[in-house]
Structure 1
Amino acid sequence: MRFVDYPSIIRFAWADFDSTRPIEQIEDISARVSTNHVFRITFEGGDRVIAKLSYFGKFEHFKEDHRLIHTLANNLLYPFENVLAKSLVKNNQVFVYRHQFEGMDVWVVFYNPIRVAEKLPRRLEEHHIRKMGSQIAKFHKACASVSTVMPKSSKTLRSDIQDLLDLLDTDTGQYEHRMNIEALREQCNLFLEHRKKMVANSVETMPVFLDWNIGNFSLTEKLELFSRWDYDWFRISYRVMDFYFFSRVCSDAGDRTVFSYLIEPLAEERFGWFLEEYHKIYPLTEREIRFLPEAYRFFILNYVIKYGRYFFHRTYATKLQHEAYATYFPSIKNFSVEPILERLGL
């Protein structure tokens, strides 16, 4: 594996942003679960910023995503005006540094540090879940209200799945997925077909973050959403794309260091509590609920199969991908949303 001197790249990036402020210290604060790296930078005098460094995917998407997030962060109104971190801006644009050298292509963006309040317990009680349902409904409403001023996003569910289909026609795709090519094509085509029937041109899109595990957000003592970080899976899409991870946060199993991505949390009574409170504030539609299994299918296809080796340690990525074929995909066929529709009166 090639050694990459991340601190040196960060120093180059900061010098390009503001060469008048010397860096005193660079600390790696990464979660170390993906190809993205996060650093705390301390300057002479004690001021600090956060640097996010990545070399995964496409530079154009990295730059676009952070400009979208910055627009969202600056347009959210009270009480969510400080929930997201603000990117540093130069010449009226989010500053994004690209480091290309001897085959490397690495990108850096800077954030102001974000404050962290209370964390949820690893296993939630009913009052936690119901309060979270109402809070996320309010946050989603706030994000939806900003949608009209958001820049256009080039990354869509359809384009991501088409990228996976295209990958399967390459030598790399044939090698990486050689035992499951036809199964993957079938799953991709099922998703594209069902998306077109269920939500395409009939359900509005909005900014969503997808990865809502307990370690990615904090709350006030009154269980109100206080801050949200880790924007690796940010996109403009349907709000129900966020729901699979909320079902995992609500699940009876709770937050675990050893995990699988089973569909069952979507059917738990505990997730039903979340949806009941959410639905009271920001009503869901039948089409959106029927799309829940497809949102789950997309997550498995895009983040476990296509990008698993980037988001998880190699051994864990292999485990999850094996489970996808043995368990995750077959479970979608047998999953019923009827109990959820009945619960919500849809």
Structure 2
Amino acid sequence: MKIVVLKERSSEESRVAAVPETVKKLAGAGHTLVIEPGAGLVAGFPDAAYEEAGAQISDKELGNADLVMGVRRPPAEVLSQVKEGAGVIGLLEPHSIKDSLGDFNARKLLALSMEYTPRITRAQSMDALSSQSNLAGYRAVIEGAALYGRAMPMMMTAAGTVAPAKVFVMGAGVAGLQAIATARRLGAIVTATDVRPAAKEQVASLGGKFIAVEDEEFKAAETAGGYAKQMSEEYQKKQAELTASHIAKQDIVITTALIPGRPAPTLISEEMVANMKPGAVIVDMAVAMGGNCPLSKPDEVVDVNGVKVAGFSNLPARLAADSSSLLAKNLVSFLPLITGENGEFAPNFDDEIVAAMTLTRDGETVHATLKEG
């Protein structure tokens, strides 16, 4: 199979879909790897490192690729160069892809979205959302600590004692749990909330204190896939009342709440921000989907009467080397499902993982969520 690894076209994306380590593994399995010039440079992987691992460096092989690997959805001008019937895989942003489906179908491309990797045991090593969210949760705390004007841990000095920072993590999924762990390692007092009952024990295991309205709706607030459900307005109101007074006492608040296919829920109102103390920091990890705070703006730090509201739309890209390495390994784990016995491009559409990730095939949109409406 000939695999072409794209150089990301967006200046805001510093990750790359293959690293020298994974190139060496794929080349050793008999695949031909072509890396577009400079694809890994921003992430710290020069072209020479890819060549040493067994790849070719060229920007003229898209038309010969069996599989095109990228981080984000390729633009139309790239897809138009890919040969008919080839595969395109990456974080294709399926919830905003409808306007691009025609570009995939015009070339009869097999579009495989890593976001739709099913949350089953067999697919854990392929779960790019989890690998990237893990690093994003870590980085959110680092960014919050950098914006916070004080130290994170308690410090007892001859001049006096520095109180530990209070960190509140809203949403205890993969990103939130890593944020909790990171904040604890930095010495902060950590509290957290989530609508999923299973999160309570997970938060406690990391040394955090769990805060939530634990009513009957809360006890049933998790999908079979492990995601948070959309909560009722009544529950959101009760939860908001519980957290409003808590947020006013916090130094750093990190919000992580996302619901697949829907705008991010509002967790922190303007009134809550107004009641926070000057110097406090909010890191809105959901800003790319509308944000958990209406005051956050993508890739900006907004000062609201001394409270810093930071919206980072692509936190994994701020750890480009590690994020790229994990994403590349996710892709390597998935590759056997679309590889034939002789190493050729031969997707197994009977496999539940391949089926779940397929958006378009043979000129048609096949994913159920994209055919609706």
> Which structure dedicates a bigger proportion of its chain to helix?
1
Q: Output the TM-score relative to the length of structure 2.
A: 0.24
Q: Output the TM-score relative to the length of structure 1.
A: 0.25
